[in-house]
């Protein structure tokens, strides 16, 4: 029985074997990737250049944009390169790095959204203490703790996965390396590892979900006590983008890891993979740009400044 050290490469599943469709896949993914890059870089630039947006909420939003850029950069470019070069190979070290980084960015996304729920809770339920509680040092410590925790969590899960010997096959039923697909290729019984990975991930996700839910219950109670209709609308409008992003991440994530498993390749795996890996990073900047007046104003200023300097 061969062990994990003898595996030098894996085969990723492509979207088609037809050359014309491979080129179409490359073009579509390229357009999606550029849209994510432009959208998130615009948000980062607009917040960085507008001093009025140097607040905790927009500091966390910059971190979220960095996560979106990192998450999609881990998966999409390799898939595009494989389609363009008509290959499906990914080396063992590249697969390890892809699993590690994707896990880091995905878990950091959820951790940061949990922190942003706490930020909205303090801003709406305890506005008089907001500047003291959410000062610059506290924001940096919370964001730093989230990143460090997610890196350690990802390292443990990645190491637990790749310590297993692989000999069932080298073909992954997905367009990028992910832990559930890798566990299907293990020589030994990976049931305990699979239960451990999914169980621990669900435990942390459930805790984050409960914390976000409790925060918003308190927020809604506080908002409903606001006497003016305009005040209630303003408070809800600051929470709606965050709630939308949380719902998008959790729904696609749960569907990815709780869908029925199959040993054979199915189009459902690829479809859910695209929804899980591509959709949230692509829609997050759109959601925050459409529903946030401050971001709209900052983007207009950035556009005017760019045109002025160009002229």
The full length of the chain comes to 311
- Note the pLDDT of residue 4: 44
The DSSP secondary structure of the chain, one letter per residue, reads ---GGG--EEEEPPS-SSHHHHHHHHHHHHHHHHHHHHHHHHHHHHHHH-GGG-SHHHHHHHHHHHHHHHHHHHHHHHHHHHHHHT--EEEHHHHHHHHHHHHHHHHHHHHHHHHHHHHHHHHHH-GGGHHHHT-HHHHHHHHHHHHHHHHHHHHHHHHHHHTS-B-S-SEESSSS--HHHHHTTBSS--HHHHHHHHHHHHHHHHHHHHHHHHHHHHHHHHHHT-SSHHHHHHHHHHHHHHHHHHHHHHHHHHHHHHSPP-SS--HHHHHHHHHHHTHHHHHHHHHHHHH-HHHHHHHHHHHHHHHHHH-
- For tokens 């890059």, the residue is 37
- Note the pLDDT of residue 227: 80
Q: From CA 262, how far away is CA 65, in angstroms rounded?
A: 34
Residue 208: closest CA among 258, 249, 263, 267 = 249
- Note the pLDDT of residue 49: 83
Q: Work out how many domains the chain is built from and give that number.
A: 1
Residue 303 neighbours by CB distance under 10 Å: 12
Q: What CATH number corresponds to the domain at position 177?
A: 1.20.1070.10
The pLDDT profile of the chain, 311 residues, written as one tens digit per residue, is: 344 446 778 888 878 788 888 899 899 999 999 999 988 998 888 888 888 888 898 899 999 999 999 999 999 999 999 988 888 899 999 999 999 999 999 899 989 999 999 998 998 888 888 889 999 999 999 999 999 999 998 898 888 888 877 776 788 888 889 887 887 787 765 556 666 666 777 778 888 889 988 988 888 888 888 787 777 777 777 777 888 888 888 777 777 666 655 544 567 777 777 888 888 888 888 887 766 777 777 777 777 766 666 66
Q: From CA 43, how far away is CA 61, in angstroms rounded?
A: 8
Q: From CA 122, how far away is CA 25, in angstroms rounded?
A: 45
- Note the pLDDT of residue 250: 78
- Note the pLDDT of residue 196: 66
- Note the pLDDT of residue 45: 86
Range of the domain at 145: 4-310
Q: What is the pTM of this model?
A: 0.85
- Note the pLDDT of residue 263: 46
């Amino acid at each position: 029985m061969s062990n994990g050290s003898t595996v030098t490469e894996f085969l990723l599943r492509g979207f088609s074997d037809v050359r014309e469709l491979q080129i179409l896949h490359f073009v579509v993914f390229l357009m999606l990737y550029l849209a994510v890059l432009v959208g998130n870089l615009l948000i980062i630039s607009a917040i960085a250049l507008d001093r009025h947006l140097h607040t905790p909420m927009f500091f966390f939003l910059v971190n979220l944009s960095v996560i979106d850029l990192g998450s999609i950069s881990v998966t999409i470019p390799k898939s595009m390169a494989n389609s363009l070069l008509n290959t499906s190979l990914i080396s063992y070290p590249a697969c390890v790095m892809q699993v590690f980084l994707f896990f880091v960015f995905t878990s950091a996304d959820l951790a940061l959204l949990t922190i942003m729920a706490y930020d909205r809770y303090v801003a709406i339920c305890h506005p008089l203490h907001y500047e003291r509680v959410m000062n610059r040092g506290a924001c940096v410590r919370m964001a730093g703790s989230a990143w460090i925790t997610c890196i350690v969590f990802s390292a443990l899960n990645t190491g637990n996965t790749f310590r297993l010997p692989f000999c069932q096959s080298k073909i992954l039923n997905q367009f990028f390396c992910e832990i559930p697909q890798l566990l299907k290729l293990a020589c030994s019984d990976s049931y305990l590892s699979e239960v451990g990975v999914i169980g621990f991930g669900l435990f942390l996700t459930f805790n984050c979900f409960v914390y976000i839910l409790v925060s918003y219950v308190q927020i809604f109670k506080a908002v409903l006590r606001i006497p003016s209709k305009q005040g209630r609308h303003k408070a809800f409008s600051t929470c709606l983008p965050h709630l939308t992003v949380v719902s998008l991440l959790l729904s696609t994530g749960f569907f990815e890891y709780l869908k029925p498993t199959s040993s054979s390749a199915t189009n459902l795996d690829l479809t859910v993979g695209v929804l899980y890996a591509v959709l949230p990073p692509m829609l997050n900047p759109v959601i925050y740009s459409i529903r946030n007046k401050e971001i709209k104003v900052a983007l207009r200023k950035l556009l005017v400044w760019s045109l002025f300097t160009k002229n």
